Amino acid sequence: MLIKTYDLDIFTPPCEPGAERYSAIARLATNISEVLPYLNATLRGAIYHEAANALTWKKGGHNIAFHAFEIATSNIVDRDAAIKELDGLVQLVNRTWERRAELIPSYQKRQRPAPMDVYQLLPKTNCKQCSEETCYIFALKLSTGQRQLADCPPLLEPDFADKRQQLKEIVNDMPAIG
Ligand code: SF4
């Protein structure tokens, strides 16, 4: 196990005293730098900054950052949720580290596709079958890895085969989270 213990710091952002959303940081005794390229290889939508030794990732509306000695997350509803969220992230790091022999680390810094480019390839019918209000909102979430192509049923229709393939090349070239 890579991370055995950590100290937890939960706070409201200094620029927003009294804010209802929390940020939280797990301060680690262990350096997790070596696991970052493996997370980069497996987390859909993650962005790895090798020079800064950091990896950022969006998940469920939270902005998450992994650094050598800390894991930070934001936009958490309450303290219990912050504890649970960071525990899940620590477990993710440990699981990824344990699986490293079967993974190929990636040092590539990926660029997120522009939401408008993604939108242009969607059906643009705003049918809401994906549970989003509009195709553009779906495009925003698809470009940051919060939704997947399979969440848009109309894309499975034969008429959209070409566009689905193009979308796959720009947003779905990374494996989904294991
Ligand atoms: S299911 Fe697809 S076509 Fe329908 S609103 Fe969502 S993104 Fe648009």
Residue 154, C-beta contacts closer than 8 angstroms, at least 6 positions apart: 123, 125, 127, 129, 160
Report how far residue 127's alpha carbon sits from residue 152's, in angstroms, rounded to the nearest whole number. 10
Note down pLDDT in tens along the chain; length 178 residues.
899 999 999 988 666 555 678 899 999 999 999 999 999 999 877 889 888 899 998 887 788 999 999 999 988 888 899 999 999 999 999 999 999 999 999 998 777 788 898 999 999 999 999 999 999 999 998 887 788 899 999 999 999 999 998 888 787 544 443 3
Give the number of other Cβ atoms within 10 Å of residue 7's Cβ. 10
130 lines ligand 1 (CB under 6 A): yes
Highest CATH level, class, for 115-171: mainly alpha
As annotated, the residues of the chain forming the CATH 1.10.15.40 domain(s) are: 115-171
As annotated, the residues of the chain forming the CATH 3.30.310 domain(s) are: 6-102
Residues 69, 90 contacting (CB under 8 angstroms) = no
Closest residue by Cα to atom 3, ligand 1, is 123
Closest residue by Cα to atom 2, ligand 1, is 152
Which of the following CATH numbers is that of domain 6-102: 3.40.630, 3.30.310, 2.60.40, 1.10.1220? 3.30.310
DSSP 136: H
121 lines ligand 1 (CB under 6 A): no
Report how far residue 175's alpha carbon sits from residue 43's, in angstroms, rounded to the nearest whole number. 7
